Amino acid sequence: MKSINAVAVGLGAVAGLLSMVFAGLIGLAVLWLGARAGIDTGDTITWAVLAVALFGGEHVAGYVAGRLVPPFFARMHGAVAALTVYAVVATFSLVAGSPAGPLTLGGFALVAAVIGHVAGAVGGRHGPSDQT
């Protein structure tokens, strides 16, 4: 039985976390520019930026992990990498005092696994030049 490739999952998780930071910084810059221009952004836009950063980071993690392993294992590695990204984010959130309950955490973990599974499947599809 083949085990999980820790290098692929680790690289995927690091890529996902870095893309989350990048997306978050771009979102904060847009919010800051909107505030400087006098546009009332409100909480909805802030939550949208956070959601795009989180789900985008999980997608990038799943894609990178799926790309680094054979196609048969891509979906599993994508899901594990996305769950790793979510575990890091959830840990920091809980340490910072988030009131999220177990059902909320479990629901978002399921969403992360699905996003990583799909992204891993996309990343695992190698082009015609990759076929042997």
Return the higher-pLDDT residue of 83 and 2. 83
- With tokens 């629901």, the residue in question is 107
Give pLDDT, residue 33: 85
Q: Determine the average pLDDT of the residues in 27-36.
A: 84
Q: Which residue has the higher pLDDT, 94 or 42?
A: 94
- Bin 70: left if φ > 0, else alpha if -120 < ψ < 50, else beta: beta
> Tell me, what amino acid is at 119?
A
pTM for the full predicted model: 0.86
- pLDDT band for position 45 (cuts 50, 70, 90): confident
List, for residues 66-102, the tens digit of each pLDDT value. Answer: 999 988 899 999 999 999 999 999 999 999 998 889 9
Quote the pLDDT of residue 1. 44
Q: To the nearest 10°, report the CA torsion of 103, 51, 63, 108.
A: 0
Q: What is the pLDDT of residue 129?
A: 55
91, 42 contact by CB (below 8 A): no
Question: How many residues in total does the chain contain?
Answer: 132
First to last CA, the chain: 23
Least Cα distance to 78 among 93, 100, 63 occurs for 63
Tell whether the model's pLDDT for residue 131 goes beyond 60. Answer: no
pLDDT for residue 127 = 56
Q: How far apart are CA 7 and CA 45, in angstroms?
A: 35
Sign, Cα dihedral of 13, 66, 20, 112: negative
